[in-house]
Structure 1
Amino acid sequence: MNKTAGHISAESQLYPSSEPFDRRTLDVGDGHQIYVEQCGRRDGIPVIVVHGGPGGGCSPIMRRFFNPEKYRVILFDQRGCGRSRPFASVEHNTTWHLVADMEKIRKTLEIDTWSVFGGSWGATLSLVYAQTHPDRTDKLFLRGVFLARKAELDWFYGGGAGKYWPELWERFVHLVPEGERHDLMGAYHRRLFGDDREAQSEFAMTWAVWENALASMGNNGTPYQVPQNYALAFSRLESHYFVNGAFLDEGQILRDMHKIHHIPATIVQGRYDMICPPTSAWELAKGWNNANLTMIPAAGHALSEPGVMRALVDATNAWTNDARWVYL
């Protein structure tokens, strides 16, 4: 591993970058075309990577958590974001559409069962997919757990996290008239889907910057700007999902855990995650005998946190040693 100033760099813990052996656009109906790619070993252990957001899109670094000589890695951009089209669209775009899209990918690629790897919203969708298709899910790799409950949304968009970052919270709140500040998610949603394009852009950027600034401990609250197109898809899709409670019943994921208790899981959680506090990961793992929860000290929410990276790579490596994969 490469070392810089006596410290192991984060990305040096990952596998080398590799190019996909397959890229395609898949028609999933309802006017949506989703981007799908495959990399690694064509006959390897199949794993689908579920990105966060909603609206974040997949990125090349997500390929690098898996040994390319062992894994067949499938990445996709969920409806409305990344290279999927129509861009930033919320029409026919719900959790259940995305679960159906994942199943269509599996069937199209002629995969019997696969592992599911997801963080943040990707963990939410991974869990809902597994609970819907437990017979198609071999293993879950989860990071930065978000269970899409009202208390979690209230924490991040109702002032909880803002108590730790008051200067950033003020930037997020100040765009909204005082009479609407009792429901900031609703106020942002109205502007993000309003007719005023200038306001739409301003609210999209502010929403995205608020989350980005709190993602990593290394950011230390730095409000980095993000590309405008990314901000638009990310903010519109998150707002759409969150004002609708992620299209789930309150507490549904924990309620339905009996459906997947037999599935092995690795849960990696940053101890100082400001976006998805550790209590959700702890509640998820409690009573799940096949789950292993690792709390990473001095780590936040982001996939790029060095301790989180190391734990996830260790977990994917360990899974290749399972008896069912000895042929590899």
Structure 2
Amino acid sequence: MILKKRYPPSSSFASYINTESTHQIYAEASGNPHGIPVVFLHGGPGSSCNNNHRRYFDPSRYYIIAYDQRGCGLSTPNGELKNNTSQYLIDDLERIRQHYNIKQWLVFGGSWGACLGLLYAQAHPEQTSGLILRGTFLARGKDLLWFAQHGASELFPSDWKAFTQEIPRNERHDLVTAFYQRLHHGDHSTQLKYAGIWSRWSNKVATHNLTPSGTNRAADDALIRKVKIETHYAHHRYFIVENQILANIDKLPKVPVTIIHGTLDRTCLLSASQQLAAAIPDSELILLDNTGHLIEEEKMISALVNSTDQYIKKLARTARIRTK
């Protein structure tokens, strides 16, 4: 089997998009302005986009929008938590769509980006032409607890010990709250210490299937801001009600949906993608053996590029059906 590679690097044009508050959203457009519009949703919460993310799409056939979510990456103010909830992120997607004068776009996201993409598609079905989702995160209690309480802990016991040993035993029943308190109410040295502990655990769970490429060299303040955003969302249970996505599955538009999940993904539950696929009629579920969580793994790259190539025909066919 020949694995597909990402498309060559291409140039982009950057914009800052105003919001209802002090937040300004950094966005980049690339590819063919007359092509199929697609929006790339990065993970985290708290991560950002990079130049490789637009390489999953044929730049001659796609009009590619990538952006940094509120408080993330090059969006400003960096690390800002005020007016930073899932609903604000959904509203930002609409601002971005309107800024680029896009009527309807393909939503492409992985991990937290898959969760945000599903929430957006349920809120704005008419603006969604399709969904390509990687490593689905449904933001239920069980999804968070697997990562931060019990589940992945059984797979990496020594790393779990390092993650929990600085938390007093009487607080270990709720590790998300324990880290949240130290990151959001501690002094700078406390924030840096616990941001590092959280980040090392997260990296271990996400990268266990890859050859180590060195330690996380994120600058101190940038690391604190990133983990504060992640724990802000986790502590508030992602600002949605329990099982919101599956409970409102009928609100998704009747559009092509592809769900791709690595069988060695230890960050997001494989069962989440399976349950999502079972709930969406005619969706496509692709399971990749010997593949973990990250978008950079070879088989994941190939599956995602293959899917975006296939969607060129799928969306053209869907558009013809809709206009009949």
Deviation at 1:226, TM superposition (A): 3.7
Query: What's the counterpart of residue 191 of structure 2?
Result: 200
Deviation at 1:302, TM superposition (A): 0.5
Residue 56 of structure 2 aligns to which amino acid in structure 1? F
SS of aligned partner of 2:119: helix
The 3 A distance-change label for structure 1 pair 15 and 326 is farther
Query: What's the counterpart of residue 160 of structure 1?
Result: 151
SS of aligned partner of 2:313: coil
Are residue 256 (structure 1) and residue 248 (structure 2) matched?
yes
- The runs of 5 or more residues in structure 1 that have no matched partner are 1-6
Query: What's the counterpart of residue 90 of structure 2?
Result: 99
Is the 8 Å Cα contact of residues 263 and 290 (structure 2) preserved in structure 1?
Answer: yes
Query: What's the counterpart of residue 83 of structure 1?
Result: 74
- Please list, as runs of the form range in 1=range in 2, the aligned pairs for 1:1-328 lying within 5 A after superposition: 13-20=5-12, 22-219=13-210, 224-228=215-219, 229-260=221-252, 262-322=254-314, 324=316
Is the 8 Å Cα contact of residues 249 and 279 (structure 2) preserved in structure 1?
Answer: no
Task: State the TM-score, normalizing by the size of structure 1.
Answer: 0.92
Deviation at 1:219, TM superposition (A): 3.2
For residues 234-275 of structure 1, the C-alpha deviation after alignment (integer angstroms, 9 at most, x for no partner) is: 211110111111111100000111111512111100101100
Cα RMSD for the two superposed structures: 2.0
The 3 A distance-change label for structure 1 pair 180 and 287 is closer
Deviation at 1:210, TM superposition (A): 1.1
In the alignment, the residues of structure 2 paired with residue 186 and residue 92 of structure 1 have an alpha-carbon distance, to the nearest angstrom, of 20
In the alignment, the residues of structure 2 paired with residue 198 and residue 215 of structure 1 have an alpha-carbon distance, to the nearest angstrom, of 26
Is the 8 Å Cα contact of residues 123 and 143 (structure 1) preserved in structure 2?
Answer: yes
In the alignment, the residues of structure 2 paired with residue 69 and residue 46 of structure 1 have an alpha-carbon distance, to the nearest angstrom, of 12
Residue 43 of structure 1 aligns to which amino acid in structure 2? H
SS of aligned partner of 2:59: coil
In the alignment, the residues of structure 2 paired with residue 242 and residue 260 of structure 1 have an alpha-carbon distance, to the nearest angstrom, of 24
In the alignment, the residues of structure 1 paired with residue 318 and residue 266 of structure 2 have an alpha-carbon distance, to the nearest angstrom, of 40
SS of aligned partner of 1:49: strand
The 3 A distance-change label for structure 1 pair 303 and 70 is same
For residues 124-179 of structure 1, the C-alpha deviation after alignment (integer angstroms, 9 at most, x for no partner) is: 00000000000000000100000000011111100310110011111111121222
The 3 A distance-change label for structure 1 pair 132 and 185 is same
Is the 8 Å Cα contact of residues 262 and 290 (structure 1) preserved in structure 2?
Answer: no
In the alignment, the residues of structure 1 paired with residue 10 and residue 308 of structure 2 have an alpha-carbon distance, to the nearest angstrom, of 17
In the alignment, the residues of structure 1 paired with residue 141 and residue 217 of structure 2 have an alpha-carbon distance, to the nearest angstrom, of 27
Say how many residue pairs are matched.
Answer: 318
In the alignment, the residues of structure 2 paired with residue 119 and residue 303 of structure 1 have an alpha-carbon distance, to the nearest angstrom, of 8
Is the 8 Å Cα contact of residues 117 and 141 (structure 1) preserved in structure 2?
Answer: yes
Deviation at 1:221, TM superposition (A): 7.8
In the alignment, the residues of structure 2 paired with residue 222 and residue 185 of structure 1 have an alpha-carbon distance, to the nearest angstrom, of 28
The 3 A distance-change label for structure 1 pair 84 and 209 is same
The 3 A distance-change label for structure 1 pair 211 and 195 is closer
Q: Which moved more, 1:87-96 or 1:316-325?
A: 316-325
In the alignment, the residues of structure 2 paired with residue 29 and residue 23 of structure 1 have an alpha-carbon distance, to the nearest angstrom, of 20
In the alignment, the residues of structure 2 paired with residue 159 and residue 250 of structure 1 have an alpha-carbon distance, to the nearest angstrom, of 18
SS of aligned partner of 2:185: coil
In the alignment, the residues of structure 1 paired with residue 117 and residue 283 of structure 2 have an alpha-carbon distance, to the nearest angstrom, of 14
Q: Which moved more, 1:257-266 or 1:164-173?
A: 257-266
In the alignment, the residues of structure 2 paired with residue 230 and residue 65 of structure 1 have an alpha-carbon distance, to the nearest angstrom, of 27
In the alignment, the residues of structure 2 paired with residue 100 and residue 165 of structure 1 have an alpha-carbon distance, to the nearest angstrom, of 38
Deviation at 1:37, TM superposition (A): 0.4
Deviation at 1:209, TM superposition (A): 1.8
Deviation at 1:220, TM superposition (A): 6.3
Task: State the TM-score, normalizing by the size of structure 2.
Answer: 0.94
Residue 181 of structure 1 aligns to which amino acid in structure 2? R
Residue 129 of structure 1 aligns to which amino acid in structure 2? Y
Residue 185 of structure 1 aligns to which amino acid in structure 2? V
Structure 1 vs Structure 2: percent identity of aligned residues? 36
Deviation at 1:29, TM superposition (A): 2.2
Residue 11 of structure 2 aligns to which amino acid in structure 1? E
